[in-house]
A = this chain, B = another copy of it.
Amino acid sequence: MAYFTFKYEALKDFSQEVFEKMGYTKDEAAIITDVLLTSDLYGIESHGMQRMVRYYKSIKNGRLIMGAEKEIVHETSISAVIDGHNGTGQLLAHYAMTLAIEKAKKSGIGIVTVRNSNHFGIAGYYAKMACKEGLMGFTTTNSEAIVVPTFGRLAMIGTNPLAFAFPAEPCDFCFDASTSVVTRGKVEVYNKKGAPLPEGWAVNSEGKVDSDAADILTSIDQKKGGGILPLGGVTEQLGGHKGYGYGMVSEIFSSILSMGLTSNHTNIGSTGGTCHGFAAMDPALFGDPEEIKKHFSTFLQELRDSPKAEGQTRIYTHGEKEMEAVDRILKDGVPINENTVREMKTICDEYGVDMEKYLGKIEL
């Protein structure tokens, strides 16, 4: 697929105008833009500008209600539950993590769950919000059911990422990953290429490991069975029940503790209902935050310095690749694939945004 490359600043100004023209306030558009473009800067194309069309479609099909008023339905000094009333994922998530951080600063910890929200972008974005304040951050979300439980053949759980961020030098630790072997986005990439899926990624409608991406995606969408495998794969031998377990932990901190919809009931027809969970925790609960940070940074350095496997030159710690991607992409520009550019163009035509003004003349 052909790629275009745009300057980060140009995409930022462009995205800002698009979301404002859609009806968001200046501040709201800035938050949504920052979440999307941070993903592109991290090198995670699947959750960046490519998703603009998803939010656009969610507004059109009624799953996302742009002006929805959020409501705090339960609150203590260290916790809260927010009903998003089908509002915008990024805005609800940003609000919830801000609330969790405030509580953590006052009381040491803040845990906030959200129900009736929508897709919120990358989980790591919010976990890192806590890090910027010297706190540990945790974020999770459920999603449409796309992962089969161990020994099952119907998708019942979402890709349900868990993200943990912890302050460290020279860069914060940020582990942000789906609890499945891969995300739907990666299966879609193989489908577009017409390439067979690697063994151990997905099962078909009979619950058998299969490499036919198109068949699997169709089966999932039609709820005929089939789905992506939990981290660890199809059997217990390589730990498939563990990935399934982490997916359940995600449900507990998103849909269960918010009394929201579990993955198997979300994102069906005009029902959205995605649920999230956020936590911020002050390391001062356990000692001197600077000493703890130094202790952790030493361990991270020991990992990076440890002997490499034959043929490998580096051992990464989580969050390191993303920081290097930011430096590279700010310098070289953000790669956007032509399909995404085409979708951006359609949205611009509808809302009367002059795309060329920001991104220059584009030959599609």
Contact digits for A47-84, partner B, Cβ 8 Å, 1 yes 0 no: 00000000000000000000000000110101101000
Given A152-B308, A207-B312, A177-B259 contact (CB < 8 Å): no
Please indicate the chain B residues that have their CB under 8 angstroms from the CB of A237 in the complex: 198
Tell yes or no: A30 within 8 A of B by CB. Answer: no
Tell yes or no: A42 within 8 A of B by CB. Answer: no
Which candidate, A92-100, A285-293, A351-359, is the interface stretch facing chain B?
Answer: A285-293
Tell yes or no: A333 within 8 A of B by CB. Answer: no
Contact digits for A283-317, partner B, Cβ 8 Å, 1 yes 0 no: 10111000110011001001100111110101111
A323 to B82, CA, bound (A): 35
Which candidate, A5-13, A16-24, A247-255, is the interface stretch facing chain B?
Answer: A247-255
Contact digits for A230-251, partner B, Cβ 8 Å, 1 yes 0 no: 0111100111011111101101
B241 pairs with A233, CB closer than 8 A: no
Please indicate the chain B residues that have their CB under 8 angstroms from the CB of A108 in the complex: 76, 78-79
Tell yes or no: A133 within 8 A of B by CB. Answer: no
A296 pairs with B79, CB closer than 8 A: no
Please indicate the chain B residues that have their CB under 8 angstroms from the CB of A150 in the complex: 315-316
Please indicate the chain B residues that have their CB under 8 angstroms from the CB of A303 in the complex: 149, 152, 156
Checking B78, B154, B309 against A152 with a beta-carbon cut-off of 8 angstroms, the contacting residue is B309
Tell yes or no: A120 within 8 A of B by CB. Answer: no
Given A78-B78, A173-B248, A153-B285 contact (CB < 8 Å): no
Of residues A198, A245, A291, A309, which shows the largest number of chain B Cβ atoms within 10 Å of its Cβ? Answer: A309
Number of identical protomers: 2
A256 to B321, CA, bound (A): 22
Tell yes or no: A35 within 8 A of B by CB. Answer: no
B292 pairs with A249, CB closer than 8 A: no
Checking B238, B257, B287 against A283 with a beta-carbon cut-off of 8 angstroms, the contacting residue is B257
Interface size on A, residues (CB 8 A): 83
Tell yes or no: A160 within 8 A of B by CB. Answer: no
A248 pairs with B295, CB closer than 8 A: no
* Closest Cβ–Cβ distance, residue A160 to chain B (whole Å): 12
Please indicate the chain B residues that have their CB under 8 angstroms from the CB of A203 in the complex: 309
Please indicate the chain B residues that have their CB under 8 angstroms from the CB of A148 in the complex: 309
Checking B74, B109, B156, B287 against A259 with a beta-carbon cut-off of 8 angstroms, the contacting residue is B287
B153 pairs with A248, CB closer than 8 A: no
Please indicate the chain B residues that have their CB under 8 angstroms from the CB of A73 in the complex: 287
Checking B239, B258, B314 against A177 with a beta-carbon cut-off of 8 angstroms, the contacting residue is B239
The 10 nearest A-B residue pairs measured at CB: A207-B309, A175-B245, A79-B285, A151-B312, A257-B286, A153-B309, A262-B299, A177-B242, A154-B307, A206-B310
In the complex, besides A164-B245, A232-B239, A256-B295, 13 extra interface pairs with C-beta distance below 8 angstroms are: A113-B286, A151-B308, A152-B309, A152-B312, A154-B306, A166-B256, A175-B248, A175-B249, A177-B241, A208-B309, A251-B299, A256-B299, A259-B295
Instruction: Name 23 A/B residue pairs within 8 A (Cβ), A-sorted.
Output: A74-B287, A78-B285, A79-B108, A109-B111, A111-B281, A113-B286, A136-B252, A152-B307, A153-B310, A156-B303, A173-B248, A175-B249, A177-B245, A181-B238, A181-B239, A206-B310, A207-B309, A207-B312, A208-B310, A256-B292, A257-B286, A259-B291, A264-B299
